[in-house]
């Protein structure tokens, strides 16, 4: 009986040892199917990605900052250039305004001048031509500005002008007493004629409008260019 009891204890101890051996071989269940070493590798990969992301973000911030600085510098330079050009542009605008006003004034004056001009196409002496103009409320034409001369040349107004050196050989004066300032002599003219009084005739030339004046003895006969007073 005692021997039977010992065998039962012996068998129970053996069973318990087998159970412990079985439990030792059991591996804990991992719901993600990875071992501990694999989890450590995944953690290291995550940290590497975070570092690269931080580096990229830092580079992007540096690039954006550089772009902002460049745009600020460029904007400042353009603003300074614009401010520097502002007086010049203002002066150009003012000059342009004056040019337009002067052109309008010149055109108005040209129209007024042209309306006052009339011509006698029967050849007469300078004194006879002047008398003809005066009898009609005018006088031989006086040229004070270049545009007046160009107008006469453009319209083909050939004839005596109100310019003479009678009584003062070589000293030219207009019939209104004003001295000669603008000159449009033909090449080689004028020359002193040894005390002989001379008067000026306009021979229009569209090709060379600046060289259209010739002087003659005042007793010569030409058309007359008159201007109303």
* pLDDT number for residue 3: 42
Q: Tell me, what's the pLDDT at 213?
A: 95
pLDDT of residue 49: 75
Number of alpha carbons in the 13 Å side-chain half-sphere of residue 140: 27
Q: According to the model, what pLDDT value does residue 41 have?
A: 53
What CA–CA distance (Å, rounded) separates 114 from 95? 28
Give yes or no for a contact between 220 and 125, defined as CB atoms under 8 angstroms apart.
yes
HSE-up of residue 193 (Cα within 13 Å, Cβ side): 18
pLDDT at 53: 83
Can you give the pLDDT at residue 2?
47
Q: What averages of pLDDT result for each successive group of 10 residues across the chain (229 residues)? A: 46 50 47 49 67 85 88 83 68 54 62 83 95 95 92 92 87 93 90 76 90 93 93
Q: Are 184 and 211 in contact (CB under 8 A)?
A: yes
- Residue 174 contacts residue 136 (beta carbons within 8 Å): no
The pLDDT of residue 140: 97
Q: Identify the pLDDT of residue 182.
A: 92
């Amino acid at each position: 009986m005692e021997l039977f009891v010992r065998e039962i204890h012996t068998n129970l101890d053996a069973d318990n040892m087998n159970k412990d051996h079985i439990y030792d071989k059991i591996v804990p269940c991992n719901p993600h199917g990875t071992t501990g070493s694999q989890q450590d590798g995944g953690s290291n990969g995550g940290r590497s990605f975070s570092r690269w992301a931080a580096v990229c973000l830092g580079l992007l911030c540096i690039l954006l900052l550089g772009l902002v600085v460049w745009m600020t510098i460029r904007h400042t330079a353009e603003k300074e250039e614009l401010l520097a050009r502002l007086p010049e542009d203002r002066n150009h605008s003012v000059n342009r305004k004056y040019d337009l006003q002067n052109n309008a004034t010149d055109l108005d004056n040209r129209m007024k001048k042209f309306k006052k001009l009339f011509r006698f196409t029967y050849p007469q002496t300078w004194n006879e031509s002047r008398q003809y103009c005066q009898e009609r409320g005018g006088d031989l034409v006086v040229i004070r500005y270049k545009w007046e001369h160009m107008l006469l040349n453009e319209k083909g107004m050939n004839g005596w002008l109100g310019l003479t050196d009678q009584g003062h050989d070589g000293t030219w004066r207009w019939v209104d007493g004003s001295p000669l300032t603008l000159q449009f002599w033909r090449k080689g003219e004028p020359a002193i004629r040894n005390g002989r009084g001379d008067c000026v005739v306009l021979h229009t030339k569209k090709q060379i409008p600046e060289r259209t004046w010739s002087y003659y003895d005042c007793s010569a006969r030409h058309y007359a260019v008159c201007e109303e007073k």
